[in-house]
Structure 1
């Protein structure tokens, strides 16, 4: 399956990144000389995506100006200037700008490096893994030892077939959600029109036995604080030195 559309969640306040985010939106913070959101957009373009919805709120004018100059994708703005919609409400609103085919959903401040050269990309593999007959959502997941900047906690337990449940010590096989998923927009058709947390829909998919994951190839980075910028850049330097 080739997925041609995506939603990038980019409207957050970036409060833990202050004082940097007092004057710039978090997705435009540069890591190794490149805005974080551009890592995400470049990966989507490489995977064959053509159209992307991006939600904006914090320093929205800066976000729109930057996105207007991005040439590899058609970008649609989901405007949340009036009120933040939380991650669920923002996603539900942004998906209305796209069609009903399967869609990638990515966070603007999470990305990865070190994919196997010559192999399908993580996004291409995730698209191929997603089976809407069996799955509501397919997530890209990663083990803790392949993360930089994460809080050290597992999000889910993964069964042998990729089915996910909330992490417990008893279940084991812990994985971290890598901030990237594929879903069919109709899964959110009954979503509220105001702000809500997307975790309610992850739990709904778990209850239906329809939340699945596949493992990331490479190393995953999340940049949530000013100190994490240096950690991410050091990881990137190390990977480039051995490339």
Structure 2
């Protein structure tokens, strides 16, 4: 199985930190945020990873290389202008298999990714609604994801299928509306993660994650 890390966004809410550094490369407890994903992917037995790039695109391959330092092979899907989440996935399909893991490059999660890889696809990882997103995204009537009540938040980690994206045009497109459509159709399974998760959406949450990881030693 392969994986894709979404890393093309501008990170507007993280400015000025992201003016000169892509958000996935921001340092957390002494290493770039995205490297925690790479380490967990390798530990789960994943060997091939696609990373999409747009904003400050050259910095990601400069920092991560070909992935061999992590026991991986990384392919970079250079978009030029960011195509958003679904658009980035659609562009990367030639390098992904039918089933693949998807990880947002700006989240930290201590989930064992082998557990996600073992789930039936398509499957979303859900977490309890955090303070910054109390309205939530989805509900869970195990094992199905439902659109209401919204007591859970999409964690930015999923196991998806390429055929769900093949009919999309090559261009800009968001993943959120697709997830709601698939949920309405009863296609999505859910995995409720009760461990540590942080969406690094603001400098304050980045600092909190840094402090939490440093306190863990």
TM beyond 0.5: yes
Matches for 1:128-167 after TM superposition, within 5 Å: 128-130=118-120, 132=121, 137-144=122-129, 150-159=132-141, 161-167=142-148
| Length, aligned pairs only | 215
Partner of 1:30: 27
Output the CA distance in 2 between the equivalents of 1:194 and 1:95.
13
Q: Which stretches in structure 1 are left out of the alignment for 5+ residues? A: 116-120
1:41-81 CA-to-partner distances (Å, cap 9, x unmatched) read: 11111111110111001111111211216322100110112
Output the CA distance in 2 between the equivalents of 1:7 and 1:227.
26
1:84-107 CA-to-partner distances (Å, cap 9, x unmatched) read: 21111011111222233x100000
Task: Give how far 1:235 is off.
Answer: 2.3
Matches for 1:1-243 after TM superposition, within 5 Å: 4-68=1-65, 70-71=67-68, 72-81=71-80, 83-100=81-98, 102-113=99-110, 121=112, 123-130=113-120, 132=121, 137-144=122-129, 150-159=132-141, 161-168=142-149, 174-238=151-215, 240=216
Q: Which moved more, 1:53-62 or 1:193-202?
A: 193-202
Q: Which stretches in structure 2 are left out of the alignment for 5+ residues? A: none
1:9-55 CA-to-partner distances (Å, cap 9, x unmatched) read: 00000111100111111110011111111011111111111101110
Normalization by structure 2: what TM-score? 0.92
Task: Classify 1:188/1:45 alpha carbon distance in 2 versus 1 (closer, same or farther; 3 Å).
Answer: same
Output the CA distance in 1 between the equivalents of 2:182 and 2:72.
30
Larger Rg, first or second structure (1 or 2): 1
